[in-house]
Every structure is written in structure tokens, then in C-alpha cells.
Structure 1
């Protein structure tokens, strides 16, 4: 277990049953190998809601609204349309760089991995985009480190809700609706 996940399990105990994901199929559909911290995070918590705000996306999530594969398809298309009218963030100036979502919020903000050509997935960092706007933030940490830092208040985002995180954390695993 990586250090960030170990800290997260101390903050919020995980569900008793780990999630088993067919990573070969998910990665084949996405066309990339996913970061090991994310795979551990999903195995431990699954697709989930944190502090009634942040939704961790999961490949094959029982709640179809938070399926990582579906979100990746939708966001890729939406961003291509957006960047016809708005400037890309500086981190995406290289035509071989791209983003792939790993979480969203109840307000519509989206959290992405910044993927650079030839970069090992375990080196991917986090980009946060405001809902319906062109404001982006970049964090030089992996998704599990970001989640822990956001929940502990070590990361102060101007994009994410000022009501996040709660003083007393809530967690629920996403299930079929």
C-alpha cells in the first residue's frame, strides 16, 4: 500500500470488501496503462463519493454515472470542442499532452490526470478544471496524494468548493441505481 493510501485509510476507513477491476480491459478501452496509486485506490475504495462532493470515477462502476471509461469518452469530446474557442492551459501546449478524468464533483468540476508523451503513468499529475469555465489548476502530485491533501486541507483550490472538505468526513461507495 502506498503512503498516501495508507494515510487515507487512517482518515476514512475503507469498505470491508475490496473492488476487483479488470484492469486489462479498462486500460485497453482507454488506450493507456493507469497509475498504480489509482488502481490501489479503486481496489480499496471503489467508485465513491467523498464529503458529499467529490466523486471518484471507476472503470465499470456499478453506478453508470461515474464510469471512468464513459467519462473519458465524454470529456475528450467536450474538451476538443471547448479548445476550438478557448485557449488550452499551458500544461497542454505540447500537442502530445492530454488529460483524462479520474474524478468529478457535484458542481461539475473535473479532476484529470495530466498525461505527457512517453511519461510513466506513475508520474502523471493532477489538473483541476472549473465547471463551465476556462480556469485550470495544476498540482504536482498523483491522484491519491491529491485526494488526501484535499481532504486534510493541505491543498487549497480556488476551483473546488469552499465547502470541501467537511470537518467530519463522509464517504460512500457508489452502487447501482
Structure 2
């Protein structure tokens, strides 16, 4: 069954004609040490990795460019955030709980923003919500919804964000990694 947020996205932005083969989700989840949300897996299976509206770049497992690879960015962003917090940058209150972690699922390349799942102990992946880090500073923004709902809401204007003040755009696009990398 198609996730409603992915169905909403496909109504807004036609998926590419030839999406890439689905990743080996069992391997990806084993490396991450956690299952991933179904809406994200469907998003990758329908679109693959790539950029929506020339702004939001969805990370995909297995991307040849490590800057857009889910696994590589999870490792890199984990190190970067740990170093920032160890040097005194304030840790957001949302992720102060022991065992809470962040997994990046998208980036805004030119701005340096990252969109993460907020992963709390005992939560199912379907309960993970979105947090955004401005990337070049200590500010964070929380969105209590799934990645698919966040992305669809961003494109329609249902999601309001200080960091995406130009949204919604009058027309939408998706450029697949395979076409631009």
C-alpha cells in the first residue's frame, strides 16, 4: 500500500520514468542499526535519490557521490554534530534524551541545512519526526511529522519554515541523481 504522503508527492511531482533499483533495505538497516520509515523507503523506490524543486536533496543509500549517500552522511553528520556539541555548541532540547539520535535524510546543499529524523528509544520509525539544522549555525527547527509528509507539505505550503521562506513554488520538479551526478 502506498503511503499517503508519497501518493501526494507523486500527484505534485511526477516521478522519473526509470527509477533506480530498490536498495537492499535489509543491508542498509543493518548498517544503520535500525529499520527506516516506510514512507522514506517508498520515496526512494519511486523517485530514487535526487533534488526536489532544485532545493531539497533527498539522500539515498548507495549513491555513488558520498555527499548524497544516506549511509555516508549518517556517519559524517554524526561525527560533525558530536564535535560541535563537544566544543560547546548547544545541543537542542529535543535530542537531549539518552539514546536519542539523528539520522539525516535530506540536505539543502547551498544553504548547508540538514533534515534529520529524530530517533528516540522505543519509537517505531513511523513515529519519527523531522528536525532541521540550519547547517551553518546552532539553530534547529522541529516538525512533528514524517519525512514524506514534511516534503509534500513543503511543496504545497502546508509546512511553514523559516528556512524555506520561498516555498511553495509555483511549479515543482524532481531531478534524479542519475541525471545530475
Instruction: Give the structure-2-normalised TM-score.
Output: 0.92
Tell me, which stretches of 5 or more residues in structure 1 are unaligned?
Answer: none
Residue 161 (structure 1) shift? 3.6
Structure 1 counterpart of 2:143: 139
Superposed, which structure 2 residues align to 1:22-101 within 5 Å? 22-84=24-86, 85-101=88-104
Question: 1:55 is paired with a residue of what secondary structure?
Answer: strand
1:100 and 1:174 mapped to 2: Cα distance?
20
Stretch of structure 1 that moved more, 31-40 or 55-64 = 55-64
2:26 and 2:119 mapped to 1: Cα distance?
19
Residue 62 (structure 1) shift? 4.0
Q: Which has the higher helix share?
A: 2
Instruction: Give the structure-1-normalised TM-score.
Output: 0.94
Residue 49 (structure 1) shift? 0.5
Tell me, which stretches of 5 or more residues in structure 2 are unaligned?
Answer: none
* Residue of structure 1 aligned with 2:154, choices 125, 137, 150: 150
Whether the 8 Å contact between 1:63 and 1:174 is mirrored in structure 2 is no
